[in-house]
Amino acid sequence: MSEAPLVATDFLTAHASILVFLAVVAGLLLFALVLWWVLRPMRFSEEKLTTYECGEDPVGNAWVQFNIRFYVFALIFVVFDVEAVFLLPWATVFRELGPLAYLEGLVFIGILVVALAYVWRKGDLAWVRPEDRA
């Protein structure tokens, strides 16, 4: 019964340096933020308060509707990119895993090929569709 407080005390003394480090970092961060808030110039102008767009003057409304094709293309890229990440570890060790792992990998690649064929057939990989050219 008397060893439980000793274990807790040993744990706290062993990790006290981490707590002190975090406290010092938080204190320095707070000090820097307050210092820069006090030292900064507080002269606001219309030019400072305008939207910054890569050095150009903002033109038009910010609520422009983008074509859904941008989002679909990005989503397709992310899906195939993540699936390629799953394939890399499998490809490095599939010989040691045996024939079942090889078969599972082929099924996975087959699903990817079917998905790619579907997206290609649907026309989502074409940046400019034929109906857009007319």
> Residue 24 has what pLDDT?
98
82 pLDDT above the threshold of 70: yes
Cα separation, 71 vs 79, in Å, equals: 12
Clarify whether residues 73 and 28 are in a common domain: no
Clarify whether residues 42 and 76 are in a common domain: no
In a domain, 62, yes or no: no
Determine the structural domain holding residue 87 and report its residue range.
Answer: 68-133
72: domain CATH number is 1.20.58.1610
In a domain, 60, yes or no: no
Clarify whether residues 40 and 72 are in a common domain: no
Structure pTM? 0.46
In a domain, 34, yes or no: yes
Per-residue pLDDT tens digits for 9-57: 788 788 899 999 999 999 999 999 999 999 988 888 887 777 777 777 7
The residue type found at 108 is F
In a domain, 25, yes or no: yes
Nearest to 86 by CA among 75, 78, 96, 98: 78
Cα separation, 117 vs 76, in Å, equals: 12
Banded model confidence at residue 4, pLDDT cuts 50, 70, 90: low
> Residue 131 has what pLDDT?
65
Residue owning tokens 């997206």: 119
The radius of gyration of the chain from alpha carbons, rounded to an integer in Å, stands at 29
> Residue 18 has what pLDDT?
93
Domain count, the chain: 2
Clarify whether residues 96 and 44 are in a common domain: no
Tell me how crowded residue 35 is: count the other CB atoms within 10 A of its CB: 10
